[in-house]
Structure 1
């Protein structure tokens, strides 16, 4: 069963500005800022995996070729292209402009040995699953829920693996379309997701008390909050929250688990409220669209980074999960910074800080 993480952070206003590091807009003229795959494309640009065409064009809707896939994978995997073993593809002589990259990925076991490589041919969605699973050794479920993918489908296990890791979700009608050729934008998205796959523990560590600086939109005051964990019953545990300045209690956060499902919520009027809901593992890109069904609606959630950096409480954190939330119900943008094994270390609203972890103390 997939792990599911439900996390709540009360929306408030902030007190000071902080830049978000490591995220830069792509300069391609044919990739708009509203493109739902821009986060993944930006990531590959920053990593030097893709360069595009002259005149700042990316040609996102052009079908990707097998030779282009070989080049991108060689860069992404940082494969050596010196002293490569000749794969002896009849249509890839040593004089081919991408001979070294094609040889490198074949030597790495990403592509099969064969008489021909077909460097200018397109790559199907099913073959994409095969090469990415091999390249990144992705492990996952051996079953598939796609209506057009059965045990007899080429790449069945690989399609199931990337699906169970949220690299692909398929189409709205429940299909995967394994024989459909991939565009440059879509292959870039799948590659970036495989590169950034992360399965962290984003809940607070119950062995510690947490102290946060918090500015409340409700009363426009600054608070220093202390979160203390206590066992509640067999299903529900609670983080009791109090203001250290006045010793007054805030709304407690409930933490509960049920098998492989984990949740963290705020108790409001004898009910639980969730303003974030997402599944693990995570990867960069949009993970919730405004029109998706589920516990939350009208919200777009985008993982901006799984290897980001942020400073909180005077500590520089690395390998940070950076999650951006936009809602059709408000104009603001919330940005959450999570650290594996620690949980939330900072939250912004419209680029200003409203929660910041000051310290953790062993209880």
Structure 2
């Protein structure tokens, strides 16, 4: 046993010495994007500089973004001619720029230029990431500084829905702001790995942990397990990371939890979005009053105690859906918990329709 421990320590030391992150003199563990950059350094998507730095706070140029995307996609970066008048074969990034342009991931300007040394903006970043990763569902809410006539409008809400990028507390996205190497690394890491997507969740979020599996029991003793997985294609189209429902009969459904500073709900691939809660949470607030998809609901309690087989919650929000003839719905209540979403649903007679039974 002692012999094994010594050997393990030696191997661990060698691994740490070879770590790109430790070789980066300007990337301490305390840096906000340390884990994301370390992750991408290990994958060879991000590389350091000859002086031993990675410069996480340096602004990313359009050429550097093309290089990072090219390495992630495995493109041939051998320098070559491009279709852009300002990107020659002799430029370091020319091969990656050409390959990314041919893959329709990046594009230039109307004057035939690419402007490789210009900073890449958050809006441009959203466009690129929406093409690199599957982003089938628009995020909810509305940014004050993103208008419908913006080129990046759709892409911004797509990367928001995919938990790749998030907005700011002041309800802005800041599409014209420049992006740092650390920030761009974070966006790429979130597109590749679920645990990094959790970083986009706002404080007090009702979204669940994407690295865990949640099991629910439904009326009729039906059990379902919900896991966050990467589904490359669905109905012959890219789908990406979604919540997958494994039914007892072997069927599968896919959906996404979506949240903004105004609303939380469930979205289905290339289909509808259903609102489960609105913010700020306040007793008496009514919502879905003009929806043609779901009946009106009202927040009827906060800090409610709810017992489930998994555990007892004391911070649940009670939402009541009253009788509604138009939707053919009989009154029921459901309970939303921060970090867990909907944990329990009961009908007007107290019968449980759905309840959380396990998290692993």
CA–CA distance in 2 between the matches of 1:108 and 1:259?
34
Q: Per-residue CA shift, 1:194-223, capped at 9, x if unaligned? A: 12258788224x7xxxxxxxxxxxxxxxxx
The alignment status of 1:102 with 2:143, answered yes or no, reads no
Select which of 139, 157, 174 maps to 2:136: 139
The structure carrying a bigger strand percent of its residues is: 1
CA shift at 1:158, angstroms?
Answer: 0.4
Q: Note if contact 1:265-1:273 (Cα within 8 Å) is conserved in structure 2.
A: no
1:1-363 superposed matches below 5 A: 26-27=21-22, 28-81=24-77, 86-114=81-109, 115-141=112-138, 144-197=141-194, 202-204=213-215, 260=266, 271-272=312-313, 295=338, 344=360
**Deviations 1:139-190, CA, capped at 9 Å, x for gaps:** 2217552221121222110000011111122112121100001111111111
- Distance, in Å, in 2 between the alignment partners of 1:177 and 1:42 is 26
Q: Do the aligned partners of 1:25 and 1:33 also contact (CA within 8 Å) in 2?
A: no
Q: Which has the higher helix share?
A: 2
Relative contact order (alpha carbons < 8 A, sep ≥ 6): 1 or 2 greater?
A: 1
Q: Is the 8 A contact 2:135 2:161 kept in 1?
A: no
Pair 177,236 (structure 1): closer, same or farther in 2 beyond 3 Å: farther
Query: Which ranges of structure 1 fall in alignment gaps of 5 or more residues?
Result: 1-17, 207-229, 240-257, 275-293, 297-341, 345-363
Q: How many corresponding residue pairs?
A: 216
TM-score (norm 1): 0.51
The 1-side partners of 2:45 and 2:307 are apart by: 37
Decide whether the 8 Å contact of 1:64 with 1:122 is kept in 2: yes
SS at match of 1:54: coil
Q: Following the alignment from structure 2 to structure 1, what is the Cα–Cα distance between the partners of residues 72 and 170?
A: 32
- The answer to whether the 8 A contact 2:60-2:181 is kept is yes
- Alpha carbons of 1:295 and 1:79: their partners in 2 closer, same or farther (altered >3 Å)? same
Provide the aligned C-alpha RMSD in A. 4.1
Distance 1:160 1:57, change over 3 A: same
Query: What do residues 301-359 of structure 1 show as CA deviations (whole Å, max 9, x unaligned)?
Result: xxxxxxxxxxxxxxxxxxxxxxxxxxxxxxxxxxxxxxxxx962xxxxxxxxxxxxxxx
Query: Structure 1 residue 43: deviation in Å?
Result: 0.9
2:78·2:96 contact (CA, 8 Å) conserved in 1?
A: no
Q: Which runs of 5+ in 2 are unaligned?
A: 1-7, 198-209, 226-263, 267-275, 277-305, 316-336, 340-357
- Matched-pair contact (CA < 8 Å) for 2:130–2:159: yes
Task: Report deviation, 1:272.
Answer: 2.1
